[in-house]
Structure 1
Amino acid sequence: MAPIKPNQNSMMPHFSLNRISTRSKSTLPCHNSKEALEATRTKRKADCSPPKENKSIKRLAFGEKNINLLENIKKAKKTITVKKVTTQKKTVASVKTVNKISQKENLECLRAPALKVVTRQSKPTVSNQTAVKSKEVLKELNKINKRLSNEFEKTDDSLYYTASEDGSSNESTYCSAKKQHNLRSSSNSTVEIPLIQEVQQNAKQNVEKREENISNLSKQIKLKLNIGNHEVPDNVEDFDKENWDDCFQVSDYAMDIFNYLNEKETKFKIPDYLDRQICLTRWMRSLLVDWMVEIQESFELNHETLYLGVKLVDTYLSRMTIGKETLQLVGAAAMLVSCKFDERIPPMIDDFLYVCDGAYSKRELIRMEINLLKVCGFELGIPISYRFLRRYARCARIKMPVLTLARFVLEYSLMNYDTVTIRDSKLASAALYIAIKMKDVSGWTETLEFYTGYRLEDFKDVVLLLNNYINQPPNPKLMTVRNKYSHKIFFEVAKVPLLANNQLFT
């Protein structure tokens, strides 16, 4: 590397090698003599360093004693003259601080024997005293002056007296005054204890009254809204009562929640909209739903996310007319919105753009998302058939293989456009009934009638519609749902033998 040249304009100081020396020139007797030049050239010897002749002496690493070095240090200390500085320290009166006492008690305490005052004996002065005082002596003098000026002033809160004031009284008067003061302080503490207990009792009573008022109000609200007052028939299993103590089941409100969803279905009813869509067909919608199922499987999303996405697509198409170029964009935006609503960690926008194979830009997807929410009125709490299916299966204690088969029937029906106008609660009831009959478990029991609110005659036409759609030969371009439920994780329910329509009602 090339040597760095000093810059005169830089802020860093530049040191020349000629200015470095081992000993200052002021210590030399003569600057021009040869002896002075030789003294500058010789190396500086450290004070109290061992002689060079004894080569066996070395510096020890862990603090062991070096006898020769200690002897040299002792010799050097003897040659150093130390001047002692002594000062006369002032006597300070003793102080005793107590709490405020009345004038009578103050007089009795003053008659007590005086406390002994211990004065510090000053050291004898030395004749060779220097005029300059050391820093330590000045600090001590400043401390004494501060203490005398600030701390030892006579106040009402302190008893300040010396031996010269009044020391003729007996010790008994002082002790009696002290005992009276202690008795008063102890009596005050005994009075405070019952007061604290009364305050605690009053607080507990107030809390109990508030809890009673809250419980009474909740009971009145439940009576007005008929919450928690479900009379279950004798032939029906009370599933909510068995799980009443489980806070995660929400058994107190489960029945009312699903009754509310049944009433809300009429608000989100979807009409037949394909007559107004000039550019769209049933086949195109089936392809879109199949693609959305593939997204749900590849991103490992919840099933509720898939059902809500399909519902948002149908709601948007029933209110807006679009071209076939933007159909996939609507499906991607619907899945993005449903992921934000149901998923704990939704996928990123770039993930949906990647699935669309770069057909749309990020700006187009965000604008479609905003437009979708505006058209749907930001109402995402739509009743979904999958939620009804899980509720009905749990109340009827349906086993997992049967429930999975019902999920296959229901998810496969999403691609069928004829199911768009049917209520979701009926679709869930029909799918569960088909699965029960295919597995030959039981019929439509009274427990299912009570929790679903439907008899078999109410959704018989829906059962026939779903069964006919399953029995159709599968299309090779719409195989995502069948391949999904043919896996061992889903008990291979897609391979279960199908039933004819006449076998379903026997």
Structure 2
Amino acid sequence: MAPPKVALRVNTGITTRTRTIHCSNPHQMETLNKGIGDKINKIIRGKRKADCSPSKDKIVKRSALGDLTNNGENNTNTDGGAKIAKTIKKLTVQSKVLPSVKTVQQKRKPNENLAPPSAPVANKITTRATSKVPTVYPSQTAVKPKEKEKGTGVVATTKKRLSNEFEKTDKEESLYSSALEEIAKRPVTRSSKASTGSLDDSLKDSTCSKESNSLSFVAQQLQTKLNLGAHDVPEGVTDYDKENWDDVYQVSHYAMDIFNYYREKEKDFQVGDYMDKQVCLTKWMRSLLVDWMVEIQESFELNHETLYLGVKLVDMYLDRVVVSKETLQLVGAASMFVASKFDERIPPMIDDFLYICDGAYNRREMIRMEINLIKVIGFNLGIPISYRFLRRYARCGKVTMPVLTLARYILEFSLMEYETIRIKDSLLAAASLYLALRMKKVSMWTPTLEFYTGYKLDDIKNTVLLLNKSISKPAKSQIMTVKNKYSHKIFFEVAKTPVIKDEDLF
């Protein structure tokens, strides 16, 4: 049973719902009553800001379809549709610095025959290089004092892994190392002194050269065996991956194979023409829903990948399940909720999505729709989206940021067009980039873009004409979120770029 809720009337005239707060302390009740007169702030967890997203001071809750929602009330006001807003209180997360590891000496037990008190005890972390005397366990025979004096005089200490390997000093080596670090640092010895000798003796017996143990040598061996990045670049094409071969953030060794794999997987996520079997839905209702999802992405400052994945999940679900108009907004909210869990570092909570739906659904309905959505799509969220293709093509073509932002605006505006759901995401990304290049009068379709996209100019012509027609139409007041978003200075005001005629495109 849901907890009791009470409506509170504040000074601003906004009616909202909150849980009843029981307070027995008169002083706390006075403080609570005093705070009711102010704005009631909704606290959500701090979010990482989306790429180049303008700052949002308010979060808007509204129904996606206006009077088509199952809220039972018409949310459109006579004063131009004023939106109910609540101020976000962002929680700042302070980074915690892990304490340095303190060395722990082995506790002596009364039954163990250890070294006499006068023997020196090593008070440092034991590494693989310095650990020469095996540790004495209770089940083993204790080492005799005379035999210990003949050795190096170092008592075995408890091995302890550093909690934070970034805090180690020059004298301390982390035991938590990767495989490549082990190959590079571990001395190879064949002498029996490695078990009982000193550190100097083990280093003298090292027979492995620096060149064979270097990380570059290991990387070259992996590249040769796995055949990484082996693709022939035609003459006249800029080899972008070769230029950034040593940049770990570009993953040039795998990038070509990754996007070739994405191209092959596109056929598994094709969406059909489902609007004929959706008896309760129309294309206009889908456009309103996508516009509302864009507003969610902007309000919660989510990644753009989350938005594209959420829209893709909506289309895949509607292609397989017939829904009513009252459930359409629930499908959109659940899709954004699932996409946030997949792409976001700190996804919003379920209460945030329930709030932005303006109380149209409860927690149980949201969770059940989330489960049903994941089952329908077969638990496969690794969907190739057009936004990832666009970023890859723009990098390989070395386009400027204003041109890329214009291509992002064209691509995001196409999400509201029902005619684009059957087009491959890689083709949509290539067409959006070409249209942006022509609108900015930068260049035509270059051999480099043709090679990395895999599409010739003839392959993208029809899609370019469709996208140009979409952004050329007069914008309707109900779906202005994308246009207003990209009219901001942070996005170089690309939405105000003059459109180009069809005969001037090619």
Q: Same fold (TM over 0.5)?
A: yes
- Letter paired with 1:321: V
Q: Report matched runs for 1:152-191 at 5 Å.
A: none
Q: Deviations over 1:477-500 (max 9, x none)?
A: 111111111111111111111111
Query: Which ranges in structure 1 are unaligned for 5 or more consecutive residues?
Result: 1-97, 99-156, 159-183
How many Å apart are 1:203 and its aligned residue? 6.6
* 2:162 aligned residue: none
How many Å apart are 1:234 and its aligned residue? 2.9
* 2:272 aligned residue: 271
Q: Say whether the 8 Å CA contact 2:271–2:319 is kept in structure 1.
A: yes
Q: Deviations over 1:106-165 (max 9, x none)?
A: xxxxxxxxxxxxxxxxxxxxxxxxxxxxxxxxxxxxxxxxxxxxxxxxxxx99xxxxxxx
* 1:493 aligned residue: 494
* 1:484 aligned residue: 485
Relative to its length, the structure with more helix (as a share) is 1
Q: Report matched runs for 1:343-354 at 5 Å.
A: 343-354=344-355
Q: Deviations over 1:324-368 (max 9, x none)?
A: 110000000000011111111111111111110000001100110
* 1:32 aligned residue: none
* 1:222 aligned residue: 226
* 1:373 aligned residue: 374
How many Å apart are 1:209 and its aligned residue? 8.5
Q: Deviations over 1:20-50 (max 9, x none)?
A: xxxxxxxxxxxxxxxxxxxxxxxxxxxxxxx
- Letter paired with 2:476: N
- Letter paired with 1:345: I
Query: Which ranges in structure 2 are unaligned for 5 or more consecutive residues?
Result: 1-117, 119-144, 154-191
Q: Deviations over 1:353-393 (max 9, x none)?
A: 11100000011001101111111111111000011111111
Q: How many residues align?
A: 322
* 1:409 aligned residue: 410
> Do residues 237 (structure 1) and 241 (structure 2) align?
no
CA distance in 2, matches of 1:446, 1:335: 37
CA distance in 1, matches of 2:276, 2:377: 20
CA distance in 2, matches of 1:502, 1:199: 77
- Letter paired with 1:292: M
Q: Say whether the 8 Å CA contact 2:193–2:202 is kept in structure 1.
A: no
* 1:213–1:294 CA distance, 2 compared to 1 (3 A): closer
CA distance in 1, matches of 2:341, 2:152: 67
Q: Say whether the 8 Å CA contact 1:222–1:228 is kept in structure 2.
A: no
* 2:453 aligned residue: 452
Q: Deviations over 1:444-490 (max 9, x none)?
A: 00110111011000111101111111111111111111111111111
Q: Deviations over 1:200-246 (max 9, x none)?
A: 566764996899997687346423xxx31122223111111221111
- Letter paired with 2:367: I
Q: Say whether the 8 Å CA contact 2:439–2:498 is kept in structure 1.
A: yes
CA distance in 1, matches of 2:152, 2:315: 82
CA distance in 1, matches of 2:459, 2:393: 16
CA distance in 2, matches of 1:214, 1:482: 50
- Letter paired with 1:501: D
Report the identity percentage: 62
* 1:359–1:235 CA distance, 2 compared to 1 (3 A): same
- Letter paired with 1:411: E
How many Å apart are 1:185 and its aligned residue? 7.1
Q: Say whether the 8 Å CA contact 1:427–1:462 is kept in structure 2.
A: yes
TM-score (norm 2): 0.59
* 1:286 aligned residue: 287
Instruction: Work out which structure has the larger RCO, using CA pairs closer than 8 Å and 6 or more positions apart in sequence.
Output: 2
> Counterpart of 2:477 in 1: which secondary structure?
coil
Q: Say whether the 8 Å CA contact 1:305–1:343 is kept in structure 2.
A: yes
* 1:206–1:353 CA distance, 2 compared to 1 (3 A): same
- Letter paired with 1:256: D
Q: Say whether the 8 Å CA contact 1:406–1:434 is kept in structure 2.
A: yes
CA distance in 2, matches of 1:214, 1:303: 37
* 2:322 aligned residue: 321
Q: Say whether the 8 Å CA contact 1:410–1:428 is kept in structure 2.
A: yes
* 2:307 aligned residue: 306
CA distance in 2, matches of 1:286, 1:211: 52
Q: Deviations over 1:274-301 (max 9, x none)?
A: 1111111101100000000011111111
> Counterpart of 1:477 in 2: which secondary structure?
helix
* 2:337 aligned residue: 336
How many Å apart are 1:259 and its aligned residue? 0.9
CA distance in 2, matches of 1:459, 1:187: 75
Q: Say whether the 8 Å CA contact 2:193–2:201 is kept in structure 1.
A: no
How many Å apart are 1:323 and its aligned residue? 0.8
* 2:263 aligned residue: 262
CA distance in 2, matches of 1:423, 1:350: 34
Q: Say whether the 8 Å CA contact 2:405–2:491 is kept in structure 1.
A: yes
CA distance in 1, matches of 2:232, 2:239: 9
* 1:209–1:348 CA distance, 2 compared to 1 (3 A): closer
* 1:202–1:313 CA distance, 2 compared to 1 (3 A): farther
> Do residues 440 (structure 1) and 441 (structure 2) align?
yes
Q: Say whether the 8 Å CA contact 1:385–1:428 is kept in structure 2.
A: yes
> Counterpart of 1:459 in 2: which secondary structure?
helix
CA distance in 2, matches of 1:201, 1:454: 60
Q: Say whether the 8 Å CA contact 1:404–1:493 is kept in structure 2.
A: yes
Q: Say whether the 8 Å CA contact 1:406–1:432 is kept in structure 2.
A: yes
* 2:392 aligned residue: 391
TM-score (norm 1): 0.59
